[in-house]
Amino acid sequence: MSHDGPDHAHRVRERLRGLDGLRALAVIGVLAFHDDRLSGGFLGVDLFFALSGFLITTLLVEELTTTDRVDLIGFWGRRLRRLLPAVMVLLVAVVLFLRFFADPGQWIVARQDAPWAQFYAANWHQIATGDGYWDAFAEPSAFEHLWSLAIEEQFYVVWPAVMWAAWRWRRTTAIATITIGGFVASAVAMIVLFDGGDPTRVYMGTDTRVFSLLAGAIVALPAVRDKVSRLVARARRSTEVVITFLLVILLGSWFVVDGSDDWLFRGGLVVHSAVAAIVALAIPTIDGRLAALLSVRPLEYVGRLSYALYLWHWPIFVYCTPDRIGTDGWRLTVVRLISTLAFSMVSYHFVEQTVRHRARWAHGGAGRRAFVLSMTGAVVVWLVVAVPSSTNAVDDDAITGAITDTSTDTSTDTSVTTTTVDISATSTTPTTIPLGPPVSSIYYLGDSVAYDMWPAIESGLAASGLRVESGAFGGVGLIPQGSGPTPLETLRGTLDRVRPDLLILQLSVWDAQQSTDDQRDALEQLRLLAVERSQRILILSFPTFAPDRTEPGQASLETLAIAMADTSPELIGYADQTSALGEVFDVDIDDDGNPERKRDGIHVCPTGALRSAQWLMQFLADHFAGITPPTSNDWILGPWSADPRYDSPPGACARV
């Protein structure tokens, strides 16, 4: 993201004391957020946006009033010299480094994102691919943070032309109308398009975020600046007190806000951007103690480094994990910050400043040739460092090995357990599900964990002669989380259509994130559905997850499910499947280099899905009539293990 104006912005910055200090605070907030030290530090991006909109609009207004035009080619050339060299060095260097020194998932995701970042379309790429900024399970991309730089550059391409057209129409009146109208339209778009779910679309969309830049543009309008100047002239000290208070509130909000707060996307970000813009205008206008404080040399220097700091910090943070560095906590933070500062200083002094002020080849015709050459060179790098069609490590040999491993290494505890309704109970009493009528059809339901297990389960059950269907998919649960039909209403319709002899329900991580009362209500509704329809249900426990992926609500959900099975044992059973993948989470259970679990600590790879499928089929054969395991292992070597889901995210199931 950019934090300085064009070359001739130096004169403007001399009149706008304190802006570099504000940039420093913004980038410190972002770094602290990405290091999990400041829950609302991501709001530093909005402060950046407001500052950029303010400075760029100030420069454009000055140019229009002085020359009656905007030199678009000159403006865009200065923007490219300011932004492009550093980001191009970053993209190429990081992709090449990760290719040789990182896990497959990290370099593949970075390589996929790099071309989009190069052409300043990273935000729309992330929206289109569904890579949410708040995604808890996706492999973090080293270029994930460049969505904001894309929005700014898109703004820089369009805004000068819009302002020039407006100037030619009705001068400052037209500029003010378009600026305010655009701000309102963008703010309304965010509020209207946000549906209470994943906020990625409204958080990263140019149309729904440009209000942050336009907030800065509004306070740069001559009429607004004149009014503020008159106010400051009449009451300088009291105005500075108010602005200091607003800055404290602004920064204080970063300590309490969380990215999952819905109110942020229903107007909160709009208010934050407006306050940031007011602060950006008022501090240099007052030019008092606050501006002097924000202009102290260390803070000012950090502000001038802010673009480089923003570019380099996230790839470094992604690579410098506790496992790689061998430390965590504040020691890891220090390593990350020192590395970020070192790379940023090199980028600022030897790339940014050199190209902007000392490289004659970066100007005029030579500059245009250098631009084409650098862009083409990067594309060549992307072609050479090609993304493989699949990184799934599993082949027939790995599957054959897994057959032996699952038959010798994995204990198969097929007991069904129930307990009392008391949520605090920890003891369980083994029971057995009555065999009942033969089972010939099964419907399988669960979230993304079950979704990854399904190809192996489907192949095995089908080989057993059963009619099977799956509704497992990411986000599936029993507890309602939005508008529209509830999950149980949807399930009723599915059962009407499929009419399975047995419903297998794997407990959902999404339900484990909800309150105990909501869990109890949802399970009671499920029990009533089973009684009403005489529908047999088998509930599966969570498999073992990595400690940092375990939700606090998993224990209560499992305990309540066990209790529910105890109240209707003739219809509902519960099976503990932790033994299928081990009592303790391990990516590569048998140490053969072919991982059973994905690197996100929760989902499964093909050999893990196979272990779960074999465990489940044996359990079903032991407890339900009409089900016998396949007599041949041909199904195990079928095409299911090459399913694309085992390559999502890329590298998740690559060799360890």
Task: Tell me the pLDDT tens digit for each residue of 38-52.
Answer: 999 999 999 999 999
Domains and CATH numbers, the chain: 9-74+148-357 (no CATH), 396-647 (3.40.50.1110)
Helices (H), 257-355: 268-286, 289-293, 297-319, 322-325, 329-346, 353
Q: How far is residue 63's CA from residue 362's CA, in Å, rounded to a whole number?
A: 23
Sorting pLDDT into bands at 50, 70 and 90, what band is 105? confident
- Phi and psi torsions of 9, nearest 5°: -70, -15
The yes-or-no verdict on residue 28 having pLDDT over 70 is yes
Bridge partner list, 604: 597
Report whether 76 contacts 70 (CB < 8 A).
no
Q: Three-class SS of residue 537? A: strand
Q: How far is residue 285's CA from residue 228's CA, in Å, rounded to a whole number?
A: 8
Greater confidence (575 vs 434) lies with 575
Q: Please name which of 642, 644, 600 lies closest in space to residue 106, comparing C-alpha atoms.
A: 600
Q: How far is residue 604's CA from residue 452's CA, in Å, rounded to a whole number?
A: 6
- pLDDT for 636 equals 87
Q: How far is residue 55's CA from residue 200's CA, in Å, rounded to a whole number?
A: 27
Q: Measuring CA to CA, how many Å separate 342 from each of 71, 305, 308, 345, 350?
A: 36, 11, 10, 5, 12
> Given its phi and psi angles, is residue 138 left (phi above 0), alpha (psi -120 to 50 degrees) or beta?
beta
Tokens 């550093």 found at: 86
Q: What is the CA radius of gyration of the chain?
A: 29
Q: Measuring CA to CA, how many Å separate 512 from each of 66, 193, 258, 516, 585?
A: 62, 27, 20, 9, 18
Q: Three-class SS of residue 468? A: strand
Greater confidence (590 vs 305) lies with 305
Sign of CA dihedral 613, 618, 620, 625: positive
Q: How far is residue 429's CA from residue 508's CA, in Å, rounded to a whole number?
A: 23
What six digits make up the tokens of 355? 């190209």
The yes-or-no verdict on residue 216 having pLDDT over 90 is yes
Q: How far is residue 122's CA from residue 612's CA, in Å, rounded to a whole number?
A: 38
pLDDT, one tens digit per residue, over 479-532 is 987 667 899 999 999 999 999 999 999 999 999 999 999 999 999 999 999 999
Q: Please name which of 254, 289, 277, 375 lies closest in space to residue 48, comparing C-alpha atoms.
A: 277
- What is the pLDDT of the chain when averaged over all its residues? 89
What six digits make up the tokens of 96? 């090449």
pLDDT, one tens digit per residue, over 66-81 is 999 999 999 999 999 9
pLDDT, one tens digit per residue, over 543-589 is 999 998 899 999 999 999 999 999 999 999 999 999 899 999 999 98
DSSP H or E segment with residue 416: strand 416-418
Q: How far is residue 468's CA from residue 1's CA, in Å, rounded to a whole number?
A: 51
Q: How far is residue 215's CA from residue 209's CA, in Å, rounded to a whole number?
A: 10
Least confident among 58-67, 128-137, 236-245: 128-137
- What letter does residue 547 receive in the DSSP assignment? G
Q: How many CB atoms lie within 10 A of CB 207?
A: 15
Q: How far is residue 175's CA from residue 218's CA, in Å, rounded to a whole number?
A: 9
Q: Please name which of 217, 211, 213 lies closest in space to residue 172, comparing C-alpha atoms.
A: 217
- pLDDT for 418 equals 33
Q: How many CB atoms lie within 10 A of CB 400?
A: 13
Q: How far is residue 266's CA from residue 263's CA, in Å, rounded to a whole number?
A: 5
Q: Please name which of 209, 212, 255, 199 lies closest in space to residue 33, comparing C-alpha atoms.
A: 255
- CA 388, distance to chain mean position in Å, is 23
- pLDDT for 135 equals 55
- pLDDT for 433 equals 57
The yes-or-no verdict on residue 171 having pLDDT over 50 is yes
Greater confidence (34 vs 261) lies with 34
What six digits make up the tokens of 233? 């002239």
**Helices and strands per DSSP (H, E), number in the chain:** 25, 7
Tokens 């500059």 found at: 367
Report whether 506 contacts 447 (CB < 8 A).
yes
- What letter does residue 470 receive in the DSSP assignment? E
Greater confidence (653 vs 348) lies with 348
Least confident among 147-151, 418-422, 489-493, 560-564: 418-422
CA angle 257, 513, 327 (to 5 degrees): 65
Q: How far is residue 385's CA from residue 367's CA, in Å, rounded to a whole number?
A: 27
Q: How far is residue 347's CA from residue 344's CA, in Å, rounded to a whole number?
A: 5
Sorting pLDDT into bands at 50, 70 and 90, what band is 138? low
pTM of the model: 0.81
Q: How far is residue 640's CA from residue 394's CA, in Å, rounded to a whole number?
A: 11
Tokens 């009528």 found at: 437
